């Protein structure tokens, strides 16, 4: 990340915010280190945090706040974060709106860049260049909440999707999601996911999200 910032002729210290869509380690690993190198403020939904050391809110572990008894020491993290909630607009560019989308984890959020209608969706929805797909269950998952969040997202005006895994979908975001929900109402399951693996590997299909 730091090398990328330098490659576009900017300084790491200029990074003002790091937006965390949720606390799973594949989305937060190393964030302490990057925050120190940049002095950026870390942003996450309050439901992904724990109160630690005085009044400072720290990121919960692997998205299961309230499930695990304490911080998992092996992860060596739990940075201090600024909590946000649904509807907050962050002062980044022309405004980045927080959309709380519980389901993948309780405190999962999407960040909507309002001027470009670009949605940074974490693991709530995955993108590849042509399609949107949904997550299977991980620690912290709530199927009913997830279903409701997907329905709500499909009614929000967004065009591009930068999913937590896969390459961005550049156009038609909300319509593509609404179409997915209408044609495949059942949420993806681990059993389908595992059964689809050989075919995915044979055909070099994406390994994240539901079966294409
Ligand atoms: Zn996740
Ligand atoms: Zn992920």
Domains defined for the chain, CATH in brackets: 1-84 (no CATH), 85-205 (3.60.15.10)
110 CA distance to ligand 2 centroid (A)? 13
The closest ligand to the CA of 101 turns out to be 1
Model pLDDT, residue 54: 65
90 CA distance to ligand 1 centroid (A)? 22
- Can you tell me whether residue 151 is helix, strand or coil? helix
Model pLDDT, residue 29: 80
The closest ligand to the CA of 22 turns out to be 1
- In whole angstroms, give the CA distance from residue 164 to residue 141: 16
Residues near ion ligand 1 (CB < 5 Å) are 24, 123
15 CA distance to ligand 2 centroid (A)? 23
Q: Are 123 and 135 in contact (CB under 8 A)?
A: yes
pLDDT tens column, 4-23: 999 999 999 999 999 999 98
Distances (CA, A) of 37 to 8, 22, 43, 52: 17, 21, 16, 23
What is the reported pTM?
Answer: 0.88
Q: Are 37 and 2 in contact (CB under 8 A)?
A: yes
Answer whether residue 195 shows pLDDT above 70: yes
5 CA distance to ligand 1 centroid (A)? 25
Q: How confident is the model over 60-64, as a mean pLDDT?
A: 53
Residues 6+ apart with CB under 8 A from 147: 103, 187
pLDDT tens column, 123-157: 999 998 889 999 998 888 999 999 999 999 999 99
The DSSP string of 154-167 is HTS---EEEESSSP
- Averaged confidence pLDDT in the chain: 88
């Amino acid at each position: 990340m730091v090398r990328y910032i330098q490659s576009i002729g900017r300084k790491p210290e200029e990074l003002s915010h790091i937006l965390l869509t949720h606390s799973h380690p594949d989305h937060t690993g190393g964030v302490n280190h990057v925050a120190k190198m940049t002095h950026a403020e870390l942003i996450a939904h309050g439901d992904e945090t724990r109160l630690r050391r005085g009044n400072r809110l720290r990121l919960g572990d692997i998205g299961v706040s309230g499930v695990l008894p304490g911080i998992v020491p092996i992860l060596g993290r739990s940075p201090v974060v600024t909590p946000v909630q649904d509807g907050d607009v962050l002062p980044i560019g022309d405004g980045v709106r927080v959309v709380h989308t519980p389901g993948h984890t309780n405190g999962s959020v999407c960040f909507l860049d309002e001027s470009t209608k670009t949605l940074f969706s974490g693991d709530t929805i995955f993108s590849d260049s042509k399609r949107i797909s949904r997550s299977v269950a991980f620690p912290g998952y709530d199927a009913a909440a997830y279903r409701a969040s997907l329905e709500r997202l499909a009614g929000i005006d967004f065009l591009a999707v930068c999913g937590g895994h896969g390459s961005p979908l550049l156009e038609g975001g909300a319509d593509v999601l609404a179409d997915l929900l209408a044609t495949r109402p059942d949420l993806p399951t681990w059993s389908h996911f595992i059964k689809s693996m050989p075919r995915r590997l044979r055909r070099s299909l994406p390994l994240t999200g539901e079966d294409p």
